[in-house]
Structure 1
Amino acid sequence: MTAMPSSPNRRRALAAGALVLSGALALSACGSSDSSDKDSAGSGKTHVVKTAMGDVKVPVAPERVVVLDTAELDSAITLGVQPVGATHVEASKGFPSYLPKDKVSGIKDVGEMLNPNMEAIAALHPDVILTSKIRHGAKYDQLKQIAPTVMTENTGYPWKENFQVHADALGKQAEAKKAVADYDAHAKKVTTAVGGPEKARATEVNVVRFVEGADIRIYGERTYIATLLKDVGLGRAPISAKAKDGFSYDVSPEKIDLADTDVIFQATYGDPRKAKQTQTTGSGLWKNMKAVKSGNVHTVEDELWIQGIGYTAANKILDEMQADLKN
């Protein structure tokens, strides 16, 4: 899972509970997932998708899709579907910049990711809503009143399995098969470019994330980015195996040397000063690390490497890995 840092505003938003939906819900033509076999999508046919909340009946070819997290947005774009609505991440402005502008232009912003605007979603008359239980499980009853809602259990680490659920919900299984095959071939190409399987395996890598309002994260094995490193065949520094629940091993600036290894990819979420990135990378402890001295610390975009979570993001990350690690 790619967890977002906590903040008083977010906690207040989550504690506020369900929004009162009146006229806006009445506008939703889809109704709940227990409607008849007729729906508002073009074909008028439905099929059942297995989700974290049980079986959900969705249109065979939904035309109006709303996505409530970056992973679902990436999946839709990868599969050739332009959502009518999507949420944004609090620390960013608009939708992820790594996505093609022509693919996100015209998508309605329906609020911050952890506090989507239910009335804005309903006003879009969606055929299907894509999200995850970990993000919006508490809002499921509200969401399914607007449209059939397809939730995966989690986000981040199980992104490949989640992608298949998204493809099933969108009726894009053939496109999904091609996306997976293209990615697998791309990963193998990068392995060759960085010196082959043996050299890749001998190169130990850490991913460090400076997070506003939280400790510094050294990412573990059960994360989205770790799956990409594994697919290329890169080695992992021993510290990554100590990550809590496989997600991250958190340290203070005074212990940043625990992140030292052959190669470090570093990202920052939020303000660099508030995230302790500025003070950490300016310290003697940081400057004396092996990866720093050898010039093998690479600054990467947080919204791509950490927030992206999908095949479109993955292929761009693979390109950056190749450029940074190629002989």
Structure 2
Amino acid sequence: MNPTRTPLRRRSLTTGALALTGALALAACGASDSGGSGAGPGRTRTVQTAMGDVQVPLKPRRVVVLDTAELDSALTLGVRPVGATHVEAAAGFPGYLPEDRLAGVKDVGEMLNPDLEAVAALEPDLILTSKIRHAAQYDQLKNIAPTVMTETTGYPWKQNFQVHAEALGRQAEAKRAVAQYTAHTKKVTAAIGGTAKAARTEVNVLRFIEGADIRLYGDRSYIATLLKDVGLGRPPITAKAKDGFSYDLSPEKIDLADADVIFRSTYGDPKKSKETQTVGSGLWKKMRAVRSGDVHTVDDELWIQGIGYTAADRILDELRADLTEKR
């Protein structure tokens, strides 16, 4: 999910400044009194972040994550956060994540507008997020707990994962996750006919978004990195993506998105996202991917919002199934 271009409605904070101040003080007291937090003298490490060097506990025990990528990273690394945000359009946390690993994780509000009082009440010893999401709240967040921010989210997910692993003290687990992912991509490539056939298969990913144009993903997006790692081809239209991220289309120009294979997801109401209008049009029905039956509807939470190695593992399985179904 792109950090700046997904239309999410903001809501105002519901807590007053006085209540937040009290909660911050409570969190500070709780952190200093927590004997097992690893935050005492000699029990910290320095992590390089988008906001400069941050001292984090050697072994964080109460972690709060403020976006889906950080939640995916934590669970991939075997860490159950005490708190996490949710994406506005979703009810709860991403459905692709195992429910048993989310048991007990407190929802601390919408991703773009977290409830800082709720965060502070959890007495975290580490907060994970990105600068592009929460730079405006950084001073408040760092007064609650050491806050590790990457610069952005989405495309640099592999580098961000390493920052998360360092902050959590889970570098060995990170190494295993990367190795498993690499092995998985190779298996998918082999299953769809090898590197040459994969490169000849042009794939587009479309997202219908409520209140916005249709988004065609370019090469500097999370999902495109997975396609590249499998070795799949991309149509020339992807080169027109703004900043490499996406190229916006209207229903009247949907034929520009044609490819051998199309994966499509929807964020919000199908009618308000122009999905219903588009897939019922003559232009859509004439596209070769549509005529050949190679258009696949995928879960937006997984393919677009997930961003991480746990999401990637599921996506790779779906890619393999869809690309070998008729081949």
**TM-score past 0.5 threshold:** yes
> 2:200 maps to what in 1?
202
Which TM-score applies when normalising by structure 1? 0.94
Measure the CA separation in 2 of the matches of 1:271 and 1:19: 35
> 1:26 maps to what in 2?
25
Quote the offset at 1:2 in angstroms.
1.6
Deviations 1:34-65 (A, max 9, x none): x9xx9761474110000000000000110000
> 2:148 maps to what in 1?
150
- Count of aligned pairs: 320
> 1:283 maps to what in 2?
281
Deviations 1:216-274 (A, max 9, x none): 00000100000000000000011111100011100111110010010000000011111
Measure the CA separation in 2 of the matches of 1:297 and 1:213: 23
Quote the offset at 1:106 in angstroms.
1.1
> 2:94 maps to what in 1?
96
Distance 1:201 1:139, change over 3 A: same
What RMSD, in angstroms, separates the aligned Cα atoms of the two structures?
A: 2.0
Q: Letter of the 1:319 partner, please give it.
A: D
Distance 1:261 1:149, change over 3 A: same
Give unpaired runs (5+ residues) of structure 2.
Answer: none
Which residues of 2 match residues 157-176 of structure 1 at below 5 A? 157-176=155-174
> 1:52 maps to what in 2?
50
Measure the CA separation in 1 of the matches of 2:136 and 2:218: 27
Measure the CA separation in 1 of the matches of 2:94 and 2:50: 26
Tell me, what secondary structure is at the counterpart of 1:49? strand
CA contact (8 A) 1:40 1:127 kept: no
Q: How much identity, in percent, do the aligned residues show? A: 73
Q: Letter of the 2:274 partner, please give it.
A: K
| 2:63 aligned with 1:62 | no
CA contact (8 A) 1:111 1:117 kept: yes
Which residues of 2 match residues 111-126 of structure 1 at below 5 A? 111-126=109-124
Measure the CA separation in 2 of the matches of 1:192 and 1:50: 38
Tell me, what secondary structure is at the counterpart of 2:174? helix
Distance 1:19 1:315, change over 3 A: farther
Measure the CA separation in 2 of the matches of 1:6 and 1:309: 18
> 1:5 maps to what in 2?
6
CA contact (8 A) 2:38 2:44 kept: no
Measure the CA separation in 2 of the matches of 1:168 and 1:18: 34
Which TM-score applies when normalising by structure 2? 0.94
Distance 1:28 1:167, change over 3 A: same
Measure the CA separation in 1 of the matches of 2:130 and 2:277: 35
Measure the CA separation in 2 of the matches of 1:92 and 1:284: 32
Q: Letter of the 1:26 partner, please give it.
A: A
> 1:41 maps to what in 2?
37
Distance 1:145 1:255, change over 3 A: same
> 1:311 maps to what in 2?
309
Distance 1:30 1:131, change over 3 A: farther
CA contact (8 A) 2:44 2:56 kept: yes
Quote the offset at 1:23 in angstroms.
1.2
Give unpaired runs (5+ residues) of structure 1.
Answer: none
Bigger mean CA offset, 23-32 vs 71-80: 23-32
> 2:180 maps to what in 1?
182
| 2:267 aligned with 1:266 | no
Deviations 1:94-134 (A, max 9, x none): 00000000011210000000000000000000010000000
> 1:300 maps to what in 2?
298
> 1:322 maps to what in 2?
320
Measure the CA separation in 2 of the matches of 1:254 and 1:125: 52
Quote the offset at 1:213 in angstroms.
1.1
CA contact (8 A) 1:39 1:59 kept: no
Distance 1:39 1:259, change over 3 A: farther
> 1:225 maps to what in 2?
223
Tell me, what secondary structure is at the counterpart of 1:236? coil
> 2:252 maps to what in 1?
254
> 2:214 maps to what in 1?
216
Quote the offset at 1:161 in angstroms.
0.1
Tell me, what secondary structure is at the counterpart of 1:130? strand
Distance 1:156 1:149, change over 3 A: same
Quote the offset at 1:29 in angstroms.
3.1
